[in-house]
Structure 1
Amino acid sequence: MRRLLGALAIAGAMAFMPPAHADDTVKIALVHGLSGSPLEAYSKQTTNGFNLGLEYATKGTMTVKGHKIEVIEKDTQFKPDVARALLAEAYGDDDALIAVGGTSSGVTTAMLPIAEENQKILLVEPAVADSLTGPNSNRYVFKTSRNSSMDMEAQAAALKPDKDLYVATLAQDYAFGKDGVAAFKKALEGTGAHVVDEEYVPQNTTDFTATIQRLFDALKDKPGRRVIVIYVAGIDALTPLAAADPGRYDIKISTGGNILPAMKAYKQVPGMEGAIYYYYGIPKNPINDWLVKEHEKRFGSPPDFFTAGGMAAALAIVKAIETSPDLKTDSLIKTMEGMSWDTPKGPMTFRKEDHQALQEMYHFKIKVDPKVAWAIPELVDVIKPDQMKIPVGRNNQE
């Protein structure tokens, strides 16, 4: 009888126990630069977008499958050694399930092996370089941000390249700039277009005088269409270049989209064409409608370039947790490989081979409206993923 009562007591207690891990907190670490660089604005936008994305995906509960979501934020100060240490701390001491970061492609490169050492997922957002999902990456790295090839495939399409196009490029001397120019040259292969000069400047350059002269010298005597393509982040190369009057040599400027404060400078080049990752007025879907409305209500301004990226990252994580059979890293990886989900830009899909998120880009033409503080990138064409030749960075199945 005592044994029977004991068994009944244990069974009764178990009946009132919650399912295993049902109320465990899932920690997500945002490991990116919040100080020490002009790029910190990108990180802050990512944070806002990420938190809004969690709110949207969980209908305000911040709970997924019974798991409370806790966001931990760490400042890498844009230093590779600091980033590596903080990512290891997030995985270890903080027991983060997934980390998101970083902002600079160079700093993020240093973080890749830490994910592999800890056998936990690093979701790259908003760093762009192709190499982040390249041969030196690993199976634990996923990437919601667009990559350099997407930027430049779209940029090349916007220029309508042919044998009469002559281009000189201006980029920063680190992973973002070098990968971008390499991707641009790859995108032009087979079109007949010519790249006649590549100029690389230090990451925080302010004096472009000598660089601009070399660009002009390389292009001014060419027989066809002459274009300088700018591919920089966190600095304004457009203003000094426009001030140098490339029009006197019949040279045009082209560059990709940027955050809204930076696009104030684009008012100097009405009619300029290029390619953009996101502008709040372009995508037409319920998620973007919600993001624009909520962001304007809470922050008094439209969502920006990297706000959309942060939201896309959060939506991907929630979809993965909802869909995965459990929260083991291997299960999450298998769930995320080939996974499609909706974002403010429309659908994205993690390519199984290298975990790069395939997504739309937008061909734009600059319109100047004196009532708007920044130049408006009006949509010319939507460039679908299957219209871009995005090389596979590495094969995670090998």
Structure 2
Amino acid sequence: MNSIRPLVKPLGLALAFAFAASFAGSAYAAPDLKIALIAGKTGVLESYAKETETGFMMGLEYLTNGTMQIGGRKIKVIVKDDQGKPDLGRTLLTEAYADDKADIAVGTTSSGSAIAMLPVAKEYKKVLVVEPAVADEITGAKWNKYIFRTARNSTQDALAAASTLKAGSVGFLAQDYAFGRDAIKAGKEALAATGSKANVVHEEYAPVTTTDFTASAQRLFDALKDKPQPRVLAIVWAGPNPMNKIADMKPERYGIVLAPGGNILPVMKTWKGYAGTEGTIYYYYGFPKNKMNDWLVAEHMKRFRSPPDMFTAGGMAAASAVYTALSKVPSANSEQLVGAMEGMSFDTPKGKMTFRKEDHQALQPMYHFRIKKNQKDEWDLLELVREIPASELPLPVQNKR
């Protein structure tokens, strides 16, 4: 009996150590990093939402080299559809923070829904990265310190457009909800901020679901037709764009030119008959020249047989902001994240963006485009007139922090 005791004891110790090591490994495995992505995947803006999700997931793939990990912790993305409804957006963000225990959230598509979500981030003291909603109030009057926005805001859109218009007369057509009214307010302020001598002679607001623009367009024509040249009808519209329908009414009879804001590729494909028309845009796949955009364009073409769109790039920008922040703060502690993200720069398909410390709005370039006359293929739509650097967009701080 005594002869086997020395064998038993070491074996028992070895098993004990093995068990302890196994237990410790499972007990102390780093928990997943949970990211909630809320988007309006149902409704009028569903195409925007789907692009955002695609760009966000491709962004995480690119940034993590396919591992979908940050600092050894697995990334879990929890996708929720708010259907563009403010009440549902608020409820889903509450669920994400309270039930899903999300470390950080991203969203959403509709400005109305995004505005409804802002107080939830403040209540739970959790970071919300806003993408792609653009209403100024998000980083303005409704802002709180947990809100960061990678999307451009209405004023950035407006300043870019205003930089191309030095004189003449302007009429605006927009949707009658937060996005549209916010955009036109920003447009008027931007003309003043850039020193433009153009006068706004009419503002026309139509219901979001409008399909007949006859009456609205005629009111704009009547307001513009006798005013100083150039006479510009600026269209600010989310979803199916009315440019073609308004163009069919022949505004050129009154010396009026259309100035469409940039839109998604399927919409801009229908503008081929308006070669030479100019506008400004947040992103077009052929404009930025950098490593991240090169990868995004090549991979998107390979996987979907089409180039990435505006909101695909926006989704990737949001992913980069989240990845950069969580790399700086592996614990995902909210207060530390806020501190790390204020003034933080991060790479995007548009190049470098920086969260301004005062209001957490991402400062970024915009693009002045012209619709191409000779389009080589179905996606060869725009030519670059000029990249408008962030330094030329005098973006005011609107949150009264």
TM-score of the alignment, normalized to the shorter chain, above 0.5: yes
3-state SS of 1:302 partner: coil
**Which of 353, 360, 366 is the aligned partner of 2:358?**
353
CA contact (8 A) 2:269 2:381 kept: no
CA contact (8 A) 2:85 2:112 kept: no
**Which of 23, 34, 53 is the aligned partner of 2:41?**
34
3-state SS of 1:53 partner: helix
CA contact (8 A) 2:59 2:319 kept: yes
1:372, distance to aligned residue in structure 2 (A): 2.5
**Per-residue Cα deviation, 1:49-103 (whole angstroms, up to 9, x for no partner):** 0000000110100010111001111111111111111110011111111111110
CA distance in 2, matches of 1:102, 1:191: 33
**Per-residue Cα deviation, 1:133-175 (whole angstroms, up to 9, x for no partner):** 112221111100011111111111122x13xx10000001111
3-state SS of 1:192 partner: coil
In structure 2, give the amino acid aligned to 1:329.
Answer: S
The aligned counterpart of 1:234 is 239
Instruction: Name the TM-score, length of structure 1 as normaliser.
Output: 0.92
Larger radius of gyration: 2
Instruction: Name the TM-score, length of structure 2 as normaliser.
Output: 0.92
The aligned counterpart of 2:153 is 147
% identity of equivalent residues: 56
Q: 1:119 to 1:27 in 2, by over 3 A?
A: same
CA distance in 2, matches of 1:195, 1:370: 33
The aligned counterpart of 1:331 is 336
Q: 1:174 to 1:15 in 2, by over 3 A?
A: same
Are 1:254 and 2:259 matched, yes or no?
yes
Q: 1:235 to 1:17 in 2, by over 3 A?
A: same
Are 1:178 and 2:181 matched, yes or no?
yes
CA distance in 2, matches of 1:167, 1:374: 30
In structure 1, give the amino acid aligned to 2:35.
Answer: I
1:384, distance to aligned residue in structure 2 (A): 0.8
| 1:125-136 map, 5 Å | 125-136=131-142
1:239, distance to aligned residue in structure 2 (A): 1.0
| 1:1-398 map, 5 Å | 17=24, 23-35=30-42, 37-159=43-165, 161-162=166-167, 165-189=168-192, 190-324=195-329, 326-369=331-374, 371-373=376-378, 376-395=381-400, 398=401
CA distance in 2, matches of 1:22, 1:279: 42
CA distance in 1, matches of 2:320, 2:65: 12
1:20, distance to aligned residue in structure 2 (A): 9.3
- Misfit runs of 4+, over 3 Å: 12-22, 368-371
CA contact (8 A) 2:375 2:381 kept: no
3-state SS of 1:261 partner: helix
CA distance in 1, matches of 2:187, 2:380: 24
1:363, distance to aligned residue in structure 2 (A): 0.7
CA distance in 2, matches of 1:21, 1:290: 36
- How many residues in Structure 1 have an aligned counterpart in Structure 2? 384
Q: Which runs of 5 or more structure 2 residues have no equivalent in the other structure?
A: 1-15
3-state SS of 1:68 partner: strand
State which drifts further: 371-380 or 384-393.
Answer: 371-380
CA distance in 1, matches of 2:92, 2:146: 17
3-state SS of 1:137 partner: coil
